[in-house]
Chains A and B, each alone.
Chain A
């Protein structure tokens, strides 16, 4: 089977959906190919295993190899990560934009323009704080931080609250609810269940994509321009499979996290939502927040020291899971290997990263004790049950990153943009050495922004898409 389009957009997440909408509304013929299925909100319970089965790549069992390995997740569905995450939204801080502008030499990268786009995005996604009651685990974070005098705030989310004002009443304003319908209304075609295997290049220009459909049939698409928005793992892997390797996949940046479970006197467990409060006293190096805490995930948080912690699982209604995230100095690699369907992903934590994870876990445990937790269960092998502040010394003495369940959900920087000597794309996402291969997703961010990156991804995506429209129209 074969087809043709003016612009092929690969991926439909926080990068691909705004790109498709911007281009379609500007009059371009746009085809979006998405590898995963369309799963409407409400079809699956948020943060459940069923959701992971249907909307995550490999059911969520994905790892960057290293010592220790870092577990990560990638969504694989229409709308990408915006369909499955918490919807927390943080504008890129001014110092991050300044760093990208100066250190990574991203040209014509005006903060005022970025923030004006953020304003538009926020209106489209109904970004707002919870108008009503917060969940108990979120309140615990706020309470603990307040008791310690630590800086904390509520992170707004892309939610509407027409069903009611409380945190659990929110309905996610994800890409399938916002930018993808806009793109379709403007004439874009969106095809799910199509995995793009490689691009064919001729003298620096991509002319065709080979894709495999869910039913196994090979599909070829001819195009004038291609914009790859598959995320920080799949985008570099596709470029490498297509022969584009210069500085591609070499700079994987993440926010590594470690977790713990905290037991309270009251029932606090909320299986289908996550806290909106975050603690930023030690930001950008360290941030604390709340995790999904359903009984399966609570059991997981206890599993590293199961013989010591296991009795707590019977009391999962009083358990909530929290994380400490760091801004990492380490970096990783994404490498497509001939003959392998999936890329090899590696990540190396630095000594400073490892120490920071341990300090973060101990401080997070302290915060939760101050919030009223009766027991805290850090997620690493050999961890003690923390019942009083004196126990925190044992955490400091026994923690090692190699014994911990280190994970991340923020992946970026594998095709960094800018004019610096290790950039893989120019300041607007055009892959170096090509005339028409663009990238427009988290891969472009030159480093991890220290906050949830999806607002940064969307702002950069809209900026680059608009620049693309201007450039093509000028050329015509």
Chain B
């Protein structure tokens, strides 16, 4: 049965956004993070999924006209109304996942050296989910 939003445009956009923001993130981690963001978006409440679906289709259509990589780079730098919320959502899922799973990651996505004896405070969770304080938040009160 077809799903909405279709996963292809979101995964493609997410992949390009990660490549833009975190160019040094290893390919395997990038693929895992993109899959993670896709899962979380697919599990969002219906109204949010519909909204994200519409915006992702608009972004995909515009990307076909002006070039997907070019458009992603533009959107990553310019917080446009509505579309900017889509970027923020994807970005927040990605960042939460990257630093939750690999806290030693450098700001560009590369692996930095772990301090001797360092143990990740939170276990990586394959198949886990994400959190954003922009679009996802944790109940810490």
Interface residue ranges, A against B (CB under 8 Å): 45, 47-50, 52-53, 56-63, 65, 69, 71-73, 75, 81, 84-86, 88, 259, 269, 271-272, 274, 289-292, 294-301, 303-304, 306, 310-311, 313-314, 316, 325, 337, 340-345, 379, 381, 403, 405, 407-410, 452
Contacts and interface: CB of A to CB of B under 8 A. Distances in A.
Nearest to A341: B46
A58 B43 contact: yes
B95 A299 contact: yes
Contact of A65 (B47, B89, B123, B141): B47
B72 interface: no
A300 B133 contact: yes
A340 B48 CA distance: 11
- Interface of A, secondary structure class, is mixed
A276 to B, nearest CB: 11
B30 interface: no
Contacts of B51: 65
A295 B132 CA distance: 12
Interface string B6-47: 000000000000000100000000000000000011011111
Given A45-B123, A314-B112, A405 B133 contact: yes
Contact of B100 (A60, A296, A301, A343): A296
Top 4 closest pairs, chain A to chain B, by CB: A296-B100, A342-B45, A53-B129, A59-B129
Interface in B97-132: 97-101, 103, 105-107, 112, 121-123, 125, 127-132
21 contacts: A50-B123, A50-B128, A52-B136, A58-B43, A59-B40, A59-B131, A61-B135, A61-B136, A62-B136, A63-B135, A271-B122, A294-B121, A296-B97, A300-B134, A310-B107, A314-B112, A341-B46, A342-B45, A379-B133, A408-B137, A409-B139
Interface size class of B (residues with CB under 8 A): 35 or more
Contacts of B122: 45, 48-50, 271-272, 294-296
A394 B112 CA distance: 33
B99 A313 contact: yes
A291 B131 CA distance: 13
B100 A88 contact: no
B69 to A, nearest CB: 19
B36 to A, nearest CB: 9
B141 A60 contact: no
Interface of B: 21, 40-41, 43-48, 51, 79, 85, 88-89, 91-93, 95-101, 103, 105-107, 112, 121-123, 125, 127-141
A52 B130 contact: yes
Given A49-B131, A409-B141, A61 B46 contact: no
Contact of B133 (A71, A81, A306): A71
Contact of A71 (B41, B43, B105, B132): B132
Most buried by A among B95, B107, B137: B137
B49 to A, nearest CB: 9
Contacts of A299: 95-96, 98-99
A48 B132 CA distance: 12
B100 A303 contact: no
A300 B135 CA distance: 10
B52 to A, nearest CB: 10
A53 B138 CA distance: 11
Most buried by A among B92, B103, B140: B140
Given A61-B40, A69-B85, A296-B131, A303 B138 contact: no
A81 B139 contact: yes
Nearest to B95: A299
Contacts of A325: 141
Nearest to A81: B139
B100 A295 contact: yes
Given A272-B121, A294-B121, A452-B141, A340 B92 contact: no
A316 B99 contact: yes
A50 B125 contact: yes
A48 B125 contact: yes
Contact of B96 (A49, A62, A69): A49
A49 B141 contact: no
Given A272-B121, A291-B140, A313-B107, A342 B130 contact: no
